[in-house]
Every structure is written in C-alpha cells, then in structure tokens.
Amino acid sequence: MLETGDDAPEFALQNQHGETVRRSDFDGRLVVYFYPRAGTDGCTTEAQEFEAARDEFENCGVGIVGISDDSVEDLESFATDHDLEFDLLSDPEGEVATLYDSYGEKQMFGNTFDGVFRTTYVVDSDGTIEAAYEDVSADGHAEAVLEDLAERRTGQAAPER
C-alpha cells in the first residue's frame, strides 16, 4: 500500500462517459477510491455515500474519483442507475490499481482470482499521498474520510452531524 508522503502515480483512464480523466486534471485535493465491482452491494453503498457527500467534498476543494476494473459500459449503467455524478474510471487490466497497490490476488467462495482491493487515497494538490485507507468498510467510509479531512484542516475533530 502506498504511504502518506509517497508520490501519487499519474493516471489517464476513461470515465463512464468515455472521456479521459487524469489525476493531474484536478487542481485541489482528490479522493481516489478503488472498489471491486460496480453494482455489488458494498460498492453501491460506497458510491452512493460518496455521491451524497459530494457537495461537502467539493466545498472543501476535494474531488472524487472511483476506480474499478469494470468496463466503461458497466460504469455508465452503474452511474445512471444510482445518479452518480462524480467520475467512475475504468481500469480494465488493473494497471492503475496496481500502481496504487490496490490490485492483486483475492479469494472468494474458494476461488482465487486477481481483482481490485477496496482502498482509498487522499492526494494533495502537489500530487502527494495525504492519507491512505486500507481494507475499508464501504458503509460509512465517505463520512470517515470527510471527518479526517476536517481534522487535518482545523486540527480538531469534526462536529457530530
């Protein structure tokens, strides 16, 4: 897993609209979250929570991108079905996820396969990893990231909502 202070790898991936999105396209900070599969329960929960908090992230000058190994077409359906307005990026071979130490061998139901790990990074405006989250729980994760961002900004815990 990448650590705080590491350089965040650059990427250029297609979003759910077939447009190329680069890490360097974002002026401010950026949440880069990796998720295993569009449309599954956990991934849907995580995406919906990031979408629900999108305005709060934007008010803090923080963009959001979600990256999976799903196809552009699958991401388009996922975004449409759940009214997701932030960029969902297609990394079909897991190349970017690998650069972010978020891709590798997994086991599920007795099967071994390569796939995306549920990890999240906050990248600062200089392209440095500001925070890293490994093996996150989808439920409540967006809120936890927002709270951490607020603590970093103010030096105090975020108020209860």
Q: Is 86 helix (H, G, I), strand (E, B) or coil?
A: coil
Compute the distance between CA of residue 126 and CA of residue 99 in angstroms, rounded to an integer: 18
Q: Name the catalytic one among 8, 30, 43, 65.
A: 43
DSSP run (H or E) holding 105: strand 103-108
Compute the distance between CA of residue 147 and CA of residue 20 in angstroms, rounded to an integer: 30
- Listed in sequence order, the residues at least 6 apart from 95 whose beta carbon sits closer than 8 Å to its beta carbon are none
Contact 76, 17 (CB under 8 A): yes
Instruction: Using alpha carbons only, give the angle 75, 38, 146 rounded to the nearest 5 degrees.
Output: 95
- Specify whether 60 is catalytic: no
Active site residues: 43
